[in-house]
Structure 1
Amino acid sequence: MNHHTLPPLGLALCTGFLVPWLLVRARWAQQVPRLALAVWAASGAVFTGAAALLPAQLILPSTTGHRLGDALFTLRLPPAAEFLRLTPLEYTALVVAVAVFAVPVTGFARVSLRARRQRGRHAETLRLVGRYDPGLGVTVLEHERPAVYCLPGRSRRVVVSSGALDTLTAPQLAAALAHERAHIAGRHHLLVAAAEAFAAVFRHLPLARHGGSAVPLLLEMAADDRALRRCSRDALATALYALAAGRAPRPAFGAGGPSAALRMRRILTPHSAGHPVLRGLATIVAAGLAAAPLIIACCSFPN
């Protein structure tokens, strides 16, 4: 086997199997959800790149594979003019790599467009049955069950049921609205689409299987943390309790839902001892060190 397949193989194994195994067991992930989300997103991007590079390295001869590995790991890509002088074998490897890389990218585009159409249809319905409240800056929907959710993207808006207006106090409502606006400001719908597309393409991969459930929860926790900049912990926790039974439409983010109990406990429980960011960085370093021997072994071979 071409030894230059070792770096992409090592990166694929590290990000596809080791990193999710570490993340699902890491207590710090829920304490610093934005860092955990960054690790999930970076792992998905690295795995996709490694999966695209691996078949190309299998096709290429040793000398060309060595040059390609050196160029990628030193971030020194060849000039564009050199692509015009590729051999047929090198063109074949390039086409295969692009085709593999295009599969999850196409899936992301398909999931994003489908979700955008769903949000657009729901927005049209809200324009017919809802009423805009200029004081709150939200769309009010007549429904007895307390619910607060948002439509992100081009149809962005926050929706509040009349039951929520009757049930929530002013601080609780402000906390719920801050949570939903954090989803919109953070463009969290893009990460959800990426996780869904990745899980559809690599459904048996631990990174996809665990990330598909972890990313939405971490996004809710990240929105909670941003909302806490504007409201108290008690206000947000009691708002989640009141909205726990509420359900949001499929392409929307809801303040309540199945994760409300876990998030309430997280909001009201102080973090454990130790610095979660440092523990998170230690996990990242440990995963990186796991792939280092393969990269060093590759670079130790002569051209």
Structure 2
Amino acid sequence: MTVCLLLLSVVGLTAAVPVPRALTRAAWPEREPVVALWVWQCLVATVLLCCSTALVLGTAAVFHTVRDHVFAPAPAAVTAAYGLSAAPVWASILTVLLACGAAWTTAVLARELVEVRRSRGSARAELRERAPDLPAGLPVERGPMLVLEDEYPDAWWMPGHPARLVVTTGALHRLTDHQLDAVLTHERGHARAHHDWLLHLSTALATGFPRVPLFAHFRDQTHRLVELAADDTASRRCGHLTTALALIQLNQHRGVLSCASSRRLLGERVDRLLAPPPRLRRRQRALTTALAALIPLVPLLITFAPGLSALG
């Protein structure tokens, strides 16, 4: 019991503090944003699994009823291998803290879900009031598109049912056909990868646990990497130069109004499109993806190791 909790704590702290800091300093995520997003998700899953498994073990040690239900199918030797009957006092305190953390995590995720549904509903109601009829002659093969009368060039993907691309008349007047296709491909890349839910998850965790470095880095890097990944989707189909020009045309008027972080990200995206970095080799991408997928298995192996040793 004590060894399991200590190992889970070590793994959780390692994945929550030094690994995210090293990943934010690395240069390869800019070359492979999709793989980097997967690595971040695996790190978050590892920390959450460490907390969840430690909570289950601690609860089983403190409450006999829970222990009887969790270890009901297991032989007596397996239960004895965990040493649940001799749990130290600090294990009870840790269990209470983990239970509070689990309840708070559930609350912040539920709050984010409610806020997303509310904001989407109000946004759709506003669009229904503002949207005119689709201009005649606009090619229908560009997909579900909603055009708003607005002098400022803008375009964004509206998730939901039905999902659609919202484009202002200012964007239609300023962008060429190829640039508009690049914008549409960029937004479809967001939609296919469900980047909106990834952004909501990272925001909820960072807001609920502002002092946890992993969640803060996860939010910041997710907002950056999803844009780089969508830029790559658009550039592969429409070309790097076309995508960069479309990005510049859509954001020229925001120079003074946008915050400093947005301007830095915009400049980084344009520079990256004009001078695209070389991608990792296919073997490197596959190896990184596989290793990241194995990281969440570490807390499970630690948790089940005593029981498997007893059975062996």
TM-score class, shorter: 0.7 to 0.9
Structure 1 position 190 matched with structure 2 position 197: yes
Distance 1:103-1:48 versus aligned 2 partners, 3 A rule = farther
Structure 1 position 270 matched with structure 2 position 271: no
Give the conservation status (yes or no) of the 8 Å contact 2:35–2:289.
Answer: no
Letter in structure 2 aligned against 1:115: V
Q: What CA RMSD, in Å, does the superposition of the two structures yield over aligned residues?
A: 4.0
For the pair shown, the structure with the greater C-alpha radius of gyration is 2
How far residue 261 of structure 1 moved from its aligned partner, in angstroms, is 1.8
Structure 1 position 130 matched with structure 2 position 127: no
Residues 210-266 of structure 1, C-alpha deviations (whole Å, 9 max, x = no match): 11111011111111122233211111010011112467xxxxxxxxx6432211111
2:279 and 2:48 map into 1 onto residues whose CA distance is 36
Match of 1:260 in 2: 266
Match of 2:151 in 1: 144
Distance 1:103-1:246 versus aligned 2 partners, 3 A rule = farther
Give the conservation status (yes or no) of the 8 Å contact 1:22–1:283.
Answer: no
Three-state SS of the structure 1 residue aligned to 2:150 is coil
Greater helix percent: which structure?
2
Distance 1:164-1:80 versus aligned 2 partners, 3 A rule = farther
For these two proteins, the number of residue pairs brought into alignment is: 273
Distance 1:148-1:36 versus aligned 2 partners, 3 A rule = same
TM-score normalized with structure 1 length: 0.75
Give the conservation status (yes or no) of the 8 Å contact 1:145–1:163.
Answer: yes
Structure 1 position 104 matched with structure 2 position 105: yes
Letter in structure 1 aligned against 2:156: Y
1:273 and 1:152 map into 2 onto residues whose CA distance is 30
- Asked which structure has the greater RCO (Cα within 8 Å, sep 6+), the reply is 2
Distance 1:7-1:142 versus aligned 2 partners, 3 A rule = same
Structure 1 position 153 matched with structure 2 position 160: yes
Distance 1:193-1:132 versus aligned 2 partners, 3 A rule = farther
Match of 1:23 in 2: 23
How far residue 282 of structure 1 moved from its aligned partner, in angstroms, is 9.7
Match of 2:241 in 1: 234
Distance 1:78-1:59 versus aligned 2 partners, 3 A rule = closer
Q: Which moved more, 1:230-239 or 1:261-270?
A: 261-270
Matches for 1:1-303 after TM superposition, within 5 Å: 2-58=2-58, 100-133=101-134, 135=140, 136=142, 137-154=144-161, 156-245=163-252, 258=263, 259-272=265-278, 275=281, 278=284, 281=288
1:260 and 1:211 map into 2 onto residues whose CA distance is 19
Letter in structure 2 aligned against 1:13: L
Letter in structure 1 aligned against 2:3: H
Distance 1:277-1:219 versus aligned 2 partners, 3 A rule = farther
Letter in structure 1 aligned against 2:266: A
TM-score normalized with structure 2 length: 0.73
Letter in structure 1 aligned against 2:268: L
Unaligned runs of 5+ in 1: 69-76, 248-256
Distance 1:277-1:198 versus aligned 2 partners, 3 A rule = farther
